[in-house]
Every structure is written in structure tokens, then in C-alpha cells.
Amino acid sequence: MIDNFEHKAKTWDNPMQMEMTSKFVSKIKESIFCYKEDVVAEVGCGTGLVGLSFLDIIQKIYMIDNSPSMLNVLREKLNTNLHKAKVEIIENDFENTNLKDLSGVLNFMSLHHIENISAYFDKVKQSLKDNGFLAIGDLVTEDGTFHSNAIVPHFGFDVRELSELLEQKGFTILRKTIYDKVEKNNRTYPLFIIIAQK
């Protein structure tokens, strides 16, 4: 498999990414309660900016990504992290895992890299325990210029359509809102968050 992030991994934790991540994490923590016994998965975890922000308040997190270079940066972080025993790294696609009874699944700027969204939501639902949550942060539908130098399956999402698909899959929408924006390529790209419960 081609590592599309091989040349980006070392510089991924830049001020823009860290600010975006911080706002997403804050919105999740405002919206749901996490408990010490919770086991969570982050899909498309990259260098771990989102998932590592939860280590103080949960039992365990599965950090899942198919980019070896991004996961290598995450491993370097864990070498100096007191909570590394709480982290299990999985180099694969979430659809190929057999995780069960998860308290929550996190997707930050990773859903638009997943081709079959309907099948993915089915897999998430199978992997969550009752009342488990799915938190998505991603781009509102854009014209393709956000990824001007890369090919991705989706140029963002229509928030209403994505919410309706989740409801069709049996999720309850707890929160959906446009909460931030990214300035890139001399354009402004709105970001949304959807928090859904099984």
C-alpha cells in the first residue's frame, strides 16, 4: 500500500494542525462525558494529536492508521509518554479490525479518506457498545482545492446528508454544527462536527 503521508509526517504537528485538533477535542469534551473505564478508537489517527488528548481520562485507546510514517511519529511520542501503556497502535484500516464494545470512535479529518462511508458506519456501529459514540470532525463540501495535490474519495461532506445517513444506520445525532474553519490556498474551508450515539 502506498503511504500517502510519507513526506508529510515529520512536519504534520504544525501550529495549524495543533490548533485544529485542539478545537475538535474541546468540542467533544464539551458534548460527551468520558470515563476512566472507557475504551476508544481513533480512526486515521495520524501522529496522535487527537487521541493522545484523551489519555488522562480514559482506560485505553486504539490508534488506527494505514500510514507507517505517521505511526512512526506517534511511536516516537509514546517513547516519552507516561501513558503509553494505554495505547495500542494498529497499522491497518479500521474496516479490517475486529474491535468490539468500544465506548467511542473518533474521526478527525479522516472520514474524507474513507471510500465507502455507508459500510464504514456499519462497521463502527458493530464495534461500539450500546450508547457508544462516534465523533466526526471534517470538511464541509468543498470544490476539491483543499487537496489540490492529492486524490481523496470525498471533497468534504454535506452535514445534513451525512447526519441523515447516520440516522438511517440507527444512530442518534447528539450534536452537529459548523464550529471552525481552515485558511488554506487563499480560501476558507468550514469544518463541522457531528457527534452521534449508537
Confidence of residue 13 (pLDDT cuts 50, 70, 90): low
What pLDDT is recorded for position 67? 87
Confidence of residue 101 (pLDDT cuts 50, 70, 90): very high
Minimal CA–CA distance to 59: which of 80, 24, 85?
85
β-bridge mates for residue 23, sequence order: none
The CB density around residue 142, as the number of other CB atoms within 10 Å, is 19
What pLDDT is recorded for position 12? 56
Strand 187-197 with 172-184, pairing: antiparallel
Confidence of residue 112 (pLDDT cuts 50, 70, 90): very high
Helix H or strand E segment including 117: helix 117-127
Confidence of residue 109 (pLDDT cuts 50, 70, 90): very high
Q: Which fold has domain 9-197?
A: Rossmann fold (3.40.50)
What pLDDT is recorded for position 184? 85
| Percentage, residues of the chain above pLDDT 90 | 70
d(CA 171, CA 197): 5
What pLDDT is recorded for position 2? 60
Provide the residue ranges of all domains of the chain, joining segments of one domain with +.
9-197
Helix H or strand E segment including 16: helix 15-31
The yes-or-no verdict on residue 1 having pLDDT over 60 is no
Mean pLDDT over residues 150-154, rounded?
Answer: 86
Q: What is the DSSP letter of 140?
A: B
Minimal CA–CA distance to 106: which of 51, 162, 56?
51
DSSP reduced 3-state for 118: helix
Q: Are 34 and 55 in contact (CB under 8 A)?
A: no
The yes-or-no verdict on residue 88 having pLDDT over 80 is yes
Q: Are 149 and 189 in contact (CB under 8 A)?
A: no
pLDDT in tens, 20-73: 899 999 999 998 888 999 999 999 999 999 999 999 899 999 999 998 888 989
Q: Are 186 and 169 in contact (CB under 8 A)?
A: no
| Percentage, residues of the chain above pLDDT 70 | 92
What pLDDT is recorded for position 77? 87
d(CA 181, CA 192): 9
pTM of full prediction above 0.85? yes
Mean pLDDT over residues 154-166, rounded?
Answer: 97
Helical residues (DSSP H) of 48-177, grouped into ranges:
68-78, 117-127, 159-168
Mean pLDDT over residues 80-104, rounded?
Answer: 91
d(CA 182, CA 148): 15
d(CA 124, CA 110): 14
What pLDDT is recorded for position 76? 87
pLDDT in tens, 117-140: 999 999 999 999 999 999 999 999
